Structure 1
Amino acid sequence: MNVRVGAVPLRRTSLVLRGGEVAVFDLAEGDLCRVVDAEGRQRGLLFARDMSVLHGVPPRDDKPSDDEVAAARDALGHHDADMGDLCGLSLFPADAEPGATVVFRAQSRSTVAVIAPGARMAPDQQTPPTDLRIEIETAGPSSGIAPPPLAMLKLDQRILAGTASAFRVSAGDYIQIIDVDGKQCSDFLAFDAAALAEGREFGLDPTVTRTLMGTANPGPGLHSKYFDARMTPLVEIVRDTVGRHDAFLLACSAKYYEDMGYPGHDNCTDNFNRALKPFGVAPRAGWPAINFFYNTFVQADDTIAMDEPWSRPGDYVLLRALTDLVCATSSCADDIDTANAWNPTDIHVRLYDKAETFSKGIAHRMTPDAEPRLTRETGFHPRTAALTRSFVDYRGFWLPDCFSDEGPIAEYWACRERAAVMDLSALRKFEVIGPDAEDLMQLAVTRDIKKLAVGQVVYTAMCYAHGGMIDDGTVFRLGQHNFRWVCGEDYCGIHLRELAAERGFKAWVKTSTDQLHNIAVQGPRSRAILATLLVTPAHHPTLIELKWFRFTVGKISGIPVIVSRTGYTGELGYEVWCHPAQAPALWDAVMAAGAGDGIAPLGLKALDMLRIEAGLAFGGYDFSDQTDPFEAGIGFVVPKDKADPYIGAGALARRRANPMHKLVGLDVVGNEPVGSGDCVHLGRAQIGVVTSATRSPILGKTIALARLDVACAAVCTAVEIGKLDGHQKRLAAQVGAFPHFDPQKTRVRADASHDERGRSPPDSISESLEPRGAGIRA
């Protein structure tokens, strides 16, 4: 490799342009820009005042429409760009391959706009607008520029490396603390300003906060507040793009550096003392602070260790002041260990007025280098939010944990006895299309996709080559070369695209999660409720005709939908899929139709009871990349007679012949709680681990799913669940039936011609595709 001495290193900036949106950015002279269509078949439009200064842009005949030009002109106008005679062109052909890239270089300074156009996708279509990735390479060192402000600014202040600053914040205003260059710790203090004016110091108290919140560090959502010693909340977390902080150590102090052999070293405590002196705050030898972007942790032996911060350039925490405050923020001065990656850099502080509105969210990244995406609301959120404030971040979406009316037990019984509706929009959806789509899915999943008929759904596993699971999910066949993969893991899309590229398949994998949201309508009255609503074309099955693991197309109250006879509760039930923009109207229609049948909303807590009783696997609990389908209790998704090779086939054949562990049901003696991760013992030896557990309302006892050594997995085997260190406290349990409730799936199979609780005749479907003991996972 040749290295040019004295070469200026390149800086790379990346941004993601969401499908249907516009991005505006500046290019300096010499900057190189790449626009990448990672998923393929996504039209991209480039606009600039003078296209001749962008060297390398390919000429294309298809031109932007008048509406697209107007959208670009509007975006550039908001960017204060001199629009002049706006020029535009198309970057990609309509059938662009995944990974298609256009590269151009700016010959002089230019402001450009890129549009990823796209319209709403109907549920039976497979044309979602998808993301474009924009990468800019520029020479020269980092300018240390903070990302654009979130709203109109009240304060815009740089905290230089190794310094601290204090400032006032009014009640209700927002505080944004930004790590400009990444991997830089920032300590934060806040004091009640009114008390401080009276000579009393009431600042943030990490011990009180942890006690009241029940978490090591608060985060966006229910457990978001930081308290003082009076148990009065001072600030709350609104957004957090890092999710890794600590509040159980002091800000660095003179003593820390003296003990390390660096007397006189700059430190956050002394910097705070100087910054807070004008506000009448007494100095301290060490300040208990919120340590944002700091990566310290408690190890298994109870010692505290540290590593580089997780934060990346531009990461931030957004807080809201709950009373008038005096605040102080530092850029940590530590350059003697990994705390700031050995190189202290700047922190940036911004204040926004209380009149601004910011969504709450935690950043999620599909891969380590992906753009952070904040927790978002589903299309049904306007309706669920009117019924509860108890939401949790579930895979990047706010989903209700339970509802305020009666709580999870009542929600559970509504599903078992009547009907319940739940928001499952966080499921990931991928449209797999193209002449080789069937070959790609046949290779990627364990089931025999060639046996799947149009209008049919199959539950299956997607595995790595070593047999460990990537995810489970369902495959919908919409046409001869058209499939929809519904799962819980974003990485599935990347995996499918990588497989297609490796094998040279002519297939596209398009992300449709944000174009397709869904509710599940479950329970013995679900068929009767939906039958009054769904209107289907003559050539599609009616709801009454719809068999288990089939889907149909139609309308509910004029809203285009797909309805599948699938679920995650062990009850007769359906999932209804629509565009997010029409989700509130769909919710209203279903709830109105089910009012006479006692339909109720259902949250994640009740869903967990239902799915554990039914023995349904849950990613991250009952399976992982270290678990094969047999060990996850879904060995039925691995056929012995699949003729075509698929990823993991060899490893799964070996694992089938030589099983090590088995997922079983445990009946727990007594009423003490059992949790995921609790060890399971036979005498002194640990023989397995609890994967999921709940108190079963219908069985009246605590039950658990556990992965045990096959030698100890026989029904009626007496075991013990270890608490504390696994030895000091044991709970008696016994291996029981799996699943615990309705093992023959009589309820979910209920035929329309039978009582809805009775056993129906088997569907006329190939036994190799028949799901036994499984449903679509949430």
Structure 2
Amino acid sequence: MDALPDTAPLRLTTLVARGGEALVFDLAAGDRCRVLDPEGRQPGLIFAAEGALSGDFAEVSDEDVEAAAAAKAALAARGVDVSRFAGFRLLSTDTAPGAVAAFQASADAVVALAPIGRAMAPDEQTPPTDLKLEIASHAPNRGVAPQPLAEPKLDLRVKAATAEAYRVKAGDYIQIIDVDGKQCSDFLAFDAAALERGKEFGLDPTVTRTLMGTANPGPGLHSKYFDARMTPLVEIVRDTVGRHDAFLLACSAKYYEDMGYPGHDNCTDNFNRALRPYGIEPRAGWPAINFFFNTVVGADDGITMDEPWSRPGDYVLLRALTDLVCSSSSCADDIDVANAWEPTDIHVRVYDAAETFSKGIAHRMTPDAEPRLTRESGFHPRTSALTRKFVEYRGFWLADCYSDEGPITEYWAARERAAIMDLSPLRKFEVLGPDAEALMQLAVTRNMKKLAVGQVVYTAMCYDHGGMIDDGTVFRLGQDNFRWICGEDYCGVHLRELAAKHGLKAWVKTSTDQLHNVGVQGPLSREILETLVVTPAHQPTVTELKWFRFTVGKITGIPVVVSRTGYTGELGYEVFCHPDKAPEVWDAIMAAGEPRGMKPLGLKALDMLRIEAGLAFAGYEFCDQTDPFEAGIGFAVPKEKIDSYVGAEALKRRRETPSKKLVGLDVTGAEHIGHGDCVHVGRAQIGVVTSAIRSPILGKTIALARLDVTYAELGTAVEIGKLDGQQKRIPATVVAFPHYDPTKSRVRAEAEPKTAPAIDPTLSLDPRGAAERA
């Protein structure tokens, strides 16, 4: 089937069936569908009423039982009777990336699509990955709201350039949807009980910014909007855009008059009309929450605006904290970029308080990707029992610190005993196929030909101009089998594009949702894990495991991969398992570690540890404008790598003629130093602070900074600028880094010899040399 046309009268809808999950969608008779396999080797199961679909399908096999069960469960949750439904297989386990299967709806139908695949063990490379669904329909091309999140109590269309008012009960959820994208929607909410007493208490943006410490509240701890009494009225539960305005008034008659458009429709007058039945006094300008309005406060305090970031179907989900009278507008502005010059509809849905919705902020891997809400790691059931202080980190909820003692205690546990931390947001990619080594050799700066099976190497991945895409570690699982672990989702796209461009037969499969991991770090980490991890005879034990090596084994019968790697500068390990088994792995490690003083560790303490150890962090020490030398990881770019790789010529040139260098700074005094602070010699700015902390173990403020090479010599006196960079200066001195344990003797520490390694005699070898699983 050829590419689906996206011109009228066809409407093209794109959906994603996540690996390991089932997607349910509606089709009308005549709708044409394409299922794309972006990563390759991913079959899918279509489940629909018999005779509802026509296409080139294959029969379902015994391997498809789990996918069929997921599809049936998802349909049943929609109230669909599946007794006369049938399953069909499309695509296969050997298709190339970008493979397509097509079918058509013979009748109106509710359909489920499920990627086929079982849970992946940590030493396997068979993750179920996403399938992309395109539906070409003769339904109207615009104005179609997405499927409800649940059964709505209110389903309200706010026509372009109008406003509507509505009541919401305490605890109910309010979903404000940008139907066609790039359309602002002003939002007002009033305490309904106070209105009945003749008092108006509505949302107050100034109070909200003050109490939340943020320009716009978002999902998480700082999520509430307040009134002038400092009483919370609503909280944000989900946000698929993350770009709104709470600084400017809703558009008013005065704005249009000043622009030369007297009598123009405006949100303020529309609000006044909509709220009149509730006895709310009209205003000349309403201080609304302007969802999807893209304003920016510049360094000169000027406020500018641009087109909204919102796409068709983007939304904000709020929860009412008391009975409310609300009003939502579709902004009438068609004389500037506020609504991309063309006002369109807004849709409002209200859901019952009994519904349950996860909290989340949406992320897109690429501009055209489907948004994905913040998710919880497999360890979240355990970490959430210990703290409510979670922050959104790269699409996951991670603990900032733990409630009982805080980041300083967590830090000292890692330095003196041991600590456990959730590192599941690290992105994992399985790279396999006959050209897997050639692909990795092309993609990263290290020499993959020197990497032995069972070994790990830290490396950089760069663009052609030498700027960094990411840093990460490569695990070699076999002759043609690698695992790339990094922080950036885009790495998978980049690797697949490289393979296609160079005609390499290699697959890059995303395994992030099949491999969650904790770091077990600190001087006692080996002692804790060697009592837990049982390895087969052909694999090293934890006691025998060398730095930057990994082993395969089990913890209380659960398959794990354990690597001797970390991000703290201490002796440490990472333990990888399937998310379904993560709580049990956490429990086992905590049971062994707590008697030895082990503590859970959050992001604040981890930041202290990694800065002391001089470890680079994306967005701080490096970005796409920074090469590995400027990021302080020039050791990851060996001179002896002969094979060409992406960025090699640029990096050779940058090595020979460096302009900036990452250095350590010892800072005088105890004033706060932050990322982005300017570094000066005299009046001239000669660099920038990338990371800084008050070091608990060193008792002083230390920093990493990227400086002009002219001033990067050890002992050079510099100043860190505060305020405008000139009015206030903090003295500092250029020093070597890492500031702590510069010889890395702690992380390299070897175990005392033991006479009897912990080998499980029940684990035998299969023909490929991997441990059999019970």
> What band does the TM-score fall into relative to the shorter chain?
over 0.9
Report the alpha carbon displacement of residue 348 of structure 1 after superposing the two structures with TM. Answer: 1.1
- Whether contact under 8 Å (1:63, 1:89) holds in the other structure is no
Per-residue deviation at 1:8?
3.2
- Counterpart of 2:684 in structure 1 is 685
1:13 matched to which residue of 2? 13
Q: Which secondary structure does the structure 2 equivalent of 1:376 belong to? A: coil
Partner of 2:95: 96
- Matches of 1:629 and 1:529 in 2, distance apart? 35
| Shift of residue 596, structure 1, vs aligned partner | 1.6
Tell me by how many angstroms 1:296 deviates. Answer: 1.2
Residues 429-479 of structure 1 deviation map (CA, whole Å, 9 limit, x = unaligned): 000011111111111000001111111000000000110000000000111
The equivalent of 1:152 in structure 2 is: 151
2: distance between equivalents of 1:274 and 1:20? 49
SS in 2 for 1:745: coil
Q: What SS does structure 2 have at the residue aligned with 1:155?
A: strand
Inter-CA distance 52–12: structure 2 relative to 1 (3 Å threshold): closer
Q: Does 1:46 find its partner at 2:24?
A: no
Find the aligned partners of 1:727 and 1:380 in 2 and give their Cα distance.
Answer: 47
- Give the equivalent residue in structure 2 for 1:129: 128
> What is the 5 A alignment of 1:413-492?
413-492=412-491
- Does residue 586 (structure 1) correspond to residue 585 (structure 2)? The answer is yes
Conserved? CA contact 1:63–1:88, under 8 Å: no
Alpha-carbon separation, structure 2, partners of 1:9 and 1:52? 23
Distance verdict in 2 for CA 1:59–1:179, change over 3 Å: closer
Report the 3-state secondary structure (helix = DSSP H, G, I; strand = E; otherwise coil) of the residue aligned with 2:256. helix
Are residues 83 and 539 of structure 1, via their aligned partners in 2, closer, same or farther at CA, if it must alter by over 3 Å? Answer: closer
Q: Residues of 1 paired with 2:50 and 2:645: CA distance? A: 51
Indicate the SS of the match to 2:429: strand
Other-structure match for 1:178: 177
The aligned amino acid for 2:585 is L
Q: How does 1:83-122 map to 2 (within 5 A)?
A: 85-106=84-105, 109-122=108-121
Tell me which moved more, 458-467 or 80-89.
Answer: 80-89
Moved more, 255-264 or 191-200: 191-200
Query: What is the aligned partner in structure 1 of residue 245 from structure 2?
Result: 246
Give the TM-score normalised by the residue count of structure 1: 0.94
Query: How do residues 519-558 of structure 1 correspond to structure 2 at under 5 angstroms?
Result: 519-558=518-557
User: Residues 515-562 of structure 1: CA distance to partner in whole angstroms, max 9, x if unpaired?
Assistant: 000000000011111111111111110111000000001111111111
Aligned partner of 1:762 in structure 2 is none
Deviation at 1:402, TM superposition (A): 0.4
Provide Cα deviations, 1:723-758, integer angstroms capped at 9, x if missing partner: 111111111111012111111001000111299xxx
TM-score calculated relative to the size of structure 2: 0.94
Aligned to 1:758: none
Partner residue, 1:220? 219
Q: State which drifts further: 28-37 or 460-469.
A: 28-37
2:758 corresponding residue in structure 1 = none
Q: 1:195 to 1:71 in 2, by over 3 A?
A: closer
2:737 maps to which residue? 738
The one-letter amino acid paired with 1:214 is G
**Aligned 1:600-619 pairs, distance under 5 A:** 600-619=599-618
Q: Aligned pair in 2 of structure 1 residues 598, 68: CA closer, same or farther (>3 Å)? A: closer
Alignment partners' CA distance in 2, 1:83 and 1:426: 36
1:183–1:575: structure 2 CA closer, same or farther, 3 Å change rule? same
Shift of 1:358: 1.1
Distance 1:109 1:322 in 2: 40
> How many angstroms apart in 2 are the aligned matches of 1:82 and 1:700?
67
**What SS does the aligned partner of 2:101 have?**
strand
Measured in 1, the distance between the counterparts of 2:607 and 2:303 equals 34
**SS at 2:401 equivalent:** coil
Flag the 1:110–1:358 CA change in 2: closer, same or farther, 3 A. closer
Secondary structure of 1:209's aligned partner? helix
How many angstroms does 1:151 deviate by?
A: 1.8
Shift of 1:73: 4.9
Provide the residue aligned with 2:311 in structure 1. Answer: 312
The amino acid of 2:34's aligned partner reads: R
C-alpha displacement of 1:567: 0.3
Percent of aligned pairs with the same amino acid? 75
Quote the Cα distance in structure 1 between the aligned partners of 2:70 and 2:593. Answer: 43
Contact 2:97 / 2:507 at 8 angstroms: preserved in 1? yes
> Equivalent residue for 2:255?
256
The answer to whether the 8 Å contact 1:247/1:289 transfers is: yes
Q: Contact (CA 8 Å) 1:27, 1:110: kept in 2 or not? A: yes
Q: Secondary structure at the match of 2:355?
A: coil
Equivalent position SS for 1:371: coil
CA distance in 2, matches of 1:140, 1:358: 29
Q: Does 1:161 align with 2:137?
A: no
Distance 1:407 1:275 in 2: 49
Within-5 A mapping of 1:539-688:
539-688=538-687
- Shift in CA distance, 37/299, structure 1 to aligned 2, threshold 3 Å: same
Partner Cα distance (1:372, 1:483) in 2: 28
Residues 751 and 170 of structure 1: CA distance in aligned 2, closer, same or farther (over 3 Å): same
Q: After superposition, where does 1:508-523 map in structure 2 within 5 Å?
A: 508-523=507-522
Output the CA distance in 1 between the equivalents of 2:551 and 2:580.
21
Shift of the 657–595 alpha-carbon distance from structure 1 to 2, 3 Å rule, reads same
Q: What are the superposed Cα offsets for residues 465-495 of structure 1, whole Å, 9 maximum, x if unpaired?
A: 1100000000001111111000000000000
The amino acid across from 1:321 in the alignment is A
Which blocks of at least 5 consecutive residues in structure 1 are unaligned? 1-5, 756-778
Per the alignment, residue 393 of structure 1 pairs with 392
Aligned partners of 2:163, 2:389: CA distance in 1, in Å?
37
**CA distance 1:7–1:58, shift in 2 (3 Å):** closer
Contact 1:397/1:426 (<8 A) preserved:
yes
Aligned partner of 1:58 in structure 2 is: 56
Equivalent residue for 1:235? 234
The residue number in structure 2 matching 1:22 is: 22
Report how far residue 49 of structure 1 moved: 3.3
Counterpart of 2:765 in structure 1 is none
Distance in 1 separating the partners of 2:33 and 2:239: 29
Equivalence map 1:62-81=2 (5 Å): 63=61, 65=64, 69=68, 71-73=70-72, 75-76=74-75, 78-79=77-78
- Residue aligned with 1:334, SS: coil
Which segment drifts farther, 11-20 or 71-80? 71-80
Letter in 2 for 1:453: A
Distance 2:187 2:400 in 1: 31
Q: Which amino acid aligns with 2:637?
A: V
CA distance in 2, matches of 1:328, 1:675: 41
Spell out, residue by residue over 1:18-44, the C-alpha distance to the aligned partner (whole angstroms, 9 max, x if none).
112222333334433111011111111
2:675 maps to a residue whose letter is S
Taking the aligned partners of 1:527 and 1:10, their CA distance within structure 2 comes to 61
Shift in Å at residue 10 of structure 1?
3.7
- CA–CA separation in structure 1 for the residues paired with 2:7 and 2:634: 57
Distance in 1 (CA, whole Å) between partners of 2:60 and 2:72 is 19
1:293 equivalent in alignment to 2:274: no
The corresponding residue for 1:761 is: none
- CA drift of 1:87 comes to 4.2
Residue 389 of structure 1: SS of its match in structure 2? coil
Tell me, which stretches of 5 or more residues in structure 2 are unaligned?
1-5, 755-774
d(CA) in 1 for partners of 2:176, 2:706: 44
In structure 2, relative to structure 1, the CA distance for the partners of 1:565 and 1:63 (3 Å cut) is: closer
The CA RMSD measured in Å over matched residues stands at 1.8
Conserved? CA contact 2:410–2:601, under 8 Å: yes
CA, structure 1 residues 701+70, in 2 after alignment: closer, same or farther (shift >3 Å)? closer
Distance of aligned partners of 1:69 and 1:639 in 2 relative to their CA distance in 1, 3 Å threshold: closer
Are the structure 2 counterparts of residues 272 and 705 from structure 1 closer, same or farther at C-alpha, using a change threshold of 3 Å?
A: same
SS at match of 1:639: coil
SS in 2 for 1:739: coil
C-alpha contact 1:669 1:702 (8 A) present in aligned 2: yes
The C-alpha deviation readout for 1:348-398, integer Å capped at 9, x for no partner, is 111112222111100000001110000000000011111111000000000
Read off the aligned partner of 1:40 and give its amino acid letter.
Answer: G
2: CA distance between counterparts of 1:754 and 1:405?
A: 37
What is the match of residue 496 of structure 2?
497
Counterpart Cα distance in 2 of 1:251 and 1:548: 59
- Which moved further from structure 2: 482-491 or 591-600? 591-600
2-side partners of 1:67 and 1:120: how far apart? 10
